[in-house]
Amino acid sequence: NAGVTQTPKFQVLKTGQSMTLQCAQDMNHEYMSWYRQDPGMGLRLIHYSVGAGITDQGEVPNGYNVSRSTTEDFPLRLLSAAPSQTSVYFCASHGIGDPRAANSPLHFGNGTRLTVT
């Protein structure tokens, strides 16, 4: 049972480059989301999806794109990387319905550490 799998684990980009952070879950969860974690700022929501074909913006969406063509996958695209996007990125998922009733509202991947020089 893999849970939430993120690739790559580490990435270094130059300013202006583009790349896609991959996220896949094998729990048939409807809800998936992307967070970035920065020192002293906690985790901030970038984008989320409540199901295939449906995405919406979170707290810090600028500079990022997402799509949800399947239930399993939710890639995050950096269009033109900037040093301000240096961060650790986490993908998370949970099943549809009341998350308070579940044992865990969100299952997190182990993160992608991105450095933009």
Partner 1 sequence: QQQVKQSPQSLIVQKGGISIINCAYENTAFDYFPWYQQFPGKGPALLIAIRPDVSEKKEGRFTISFNKSAKQFSLHIMDSQPGDSATYFCAALTTGGGNKLTFGTGTQLKVEL
Could you tell me the smallest distance in angstroms from the CB atom of residue 64 to partner 1? 16
Could you tell me the smallest distance in angstroms from the CB atom of residue 85 to partner 1? 19
Q: How many CB atoms lie within 10 A of CB 96?
A: 11
Using CB under 8 A as the binding criterion, the count of chain residues that bind partner 1 stands at 28
Binding mask 16-55 toward partner 1 (x if CB under 8 A, else -) reads: ---------------x-x-x----xxxxxx--x-x-----
Interactions with partner 1, residue window 94-113 (CB under 8 A):
94, 98-100, 103-106, 108-111
Residue 65 CB-half CA count within 13 A: 9
Q: In what order do the strands lie in the sheet with 64-66?
A: 4-7, 19-25, 76-78, 64-66
